[in-house]
Structure 1
Amino acid sequence: MNRLTQSMILILLGGAVLRITTLSTTYLNYVKPGFQPFLIAAAAVVFVLGVVGLIQEWRGSPRPDHHEGHEHGHEHGHAPRVAWLLTLPVFAIYLIAPPALGAFSAKSEEAPAQPPVAALDAYHALPAGKVNDMALSEFIGRAWGDSANSLVGRQVKLTGFVVPSVKKKDRWYVARIQIACCAADGIALKVAVLDATMPPENTWIEVTGTWREPKSGKLPAGTVAPELDAISVTEIPQPVEPYE
């Protein structure tokens, strides 16, 4: 790989990241919204370095003598072959554009992961007579450890994608991936949906219903997915920000 090719790859890589962070919301499939300024800054630096390298190659540089040119050509003129791996993210972004994590990632984690929720018993009371729009992490936190049982008799609306159970044929979940910074650290949050026909796998839905209290009393945190008696299930487009 010569310097001209290196510069072109830097331009393509920087341009690809700038494209998904400034002209679209595709970057939200991979990181949290707060990382946008850092991605833009890093992509701009890579892009500028590529342009500068390209200009230098076009202008040309003073040619050293024959022996010097021969030695420096071998020493500096080519990058290791592994540098071609830099083209992979470019092709991935331009040609593939990997989607956000979905049902496949959630299905592989049958035991529900414990989300980093607020301290137990720190939840406010839910108003009666209305549908409470709620994140899955909050619903799971209330179901696992709210001694005030604030979910009892309250209707809630959860948003996520459909995940069939691996172990039980008639069981399915509304799920969402929660991330701390990027998709690599995502954990699956799942709530079992009861008394409703399962939409196609990986379909995004809004499900309204009421919490079904466990027969054994307190639900063991991190061992069993909370259950929701569904009142309605509505298919929706994927949200712009797919992660919690």
Structure 2
Amino acid sequence: MSRLTQSLLLVLLGGAVLRISLLSTTYLNYVKPGFRPFLVAAGLVVFVLGLVGVYQEWRKNSHEDEHEHGHGHGHGPGVAWLLTLPVFAIFLIAPPALGAFAARSEEVPARPPVAALDAYAPLASGQVTAMPLGEFIGRAWGDSGRSLAGRQVRLTGFVVPSKKKDRWYVARIQIACCAADGIPLKVAVLDADAPPENTWVEVTGTWVDPKLEELPKGTVAPELSAGSVTVIPAPVEPYE
């Protein structure tokens, strides 16, 4: 591959990174919001390096005669241009955020609660409290004060079917830094018909207390008796 080709690839790669991080919110399908400045900076560096390389090759070639120009660029297999395909894939076929497929397996346990026992504040009575799925799971399995008991909560996530006929799951992927380390968080929804798979919904309902002390906490999805299910657009930031 010639130096000109390498420089053009750098321009395309840097442009692709800038497109998803600076000119759109597509980067949120892959990393947490805090990584945006680093992506923008990396994209700018790669893009500028590519432009510098293209300019240097153009200046070099402009001072060569016809014979030297042909000799300098006759080498390098044409198949090397196939390396541009991943770059064009970023432009044309941006992979979506992780969804129901990543959370579908019912053998994968729910994420154990990360908060310390009794670290949760009481919930107000007589009103609906919106909370992340991770907090709901933590309260369900890690709060000896049973703060969820009798309280209305609202959970937001995408729909995941269940093999059991009496339930489906509202789920969300929790990430530490990027989609590669994503962990599915799931809450079983009872007493409501399931919308289509991967549909984003808001589910309002009450926690179903299993009342089984011998049940290993954090190894199964907690249950929610749904009062209402509302279909919503997919959020800009899909992960917790």
TM-score, normalised with respect to structure 2 = 0.89
Give the drift of 1:95: 1.1
Task: Name which of 96, 120, 130 aligns with 1:123.
Answer: 120
Of 155, 158, 173, which aligns to 1:158?
Answer: 155
Where do residues 182-197 of structure 1 align in structure 2 (5 Å cutoff)?
182-197=178-193
Matched length? 235
Q: Which runs of structure 2 are paired with 1:19-98 in the superposition (5 Å)? A: 19-60=19-60, 78=76, 84-85=82-83, 87-98=84-95
Unaligned 5+ segments in structure 2 are none
Alignment partner of 1:15 is 2:11 = no
Counterparts of 1:24 and 1:199, CA distance in 2: 29
Pair 1:156–1:91, CA change in 2 (3 A): same
**Structure 1: gaps (5+ residues):** none
Question: How far, CA to CA, are the matches of 2:217 and 2:178 in structure 1?
Answer: 25
One-letter code of the match for 1:10?
A: L
Q: Secondary structure at the match of 1:60?
A: helix
**1:148 aligned to 2:145?**
yes
Give 3-state SS (helix, strand or coil) of 1:234's partner.
strand
Q: Which runs of 4+ in 1 moved over 6 A?
A: none
Distance 2:184 2:85 in 1: 28
- The residue matched to 1:139 in structure 2 has which SS? helix
Q: 1-side partners of 2:89 and 2:214: how far apart? A: 46
What is the percent sequence identity of the aligned residues?
A: 75
TM superposition score normalised by structure 1:
0.88
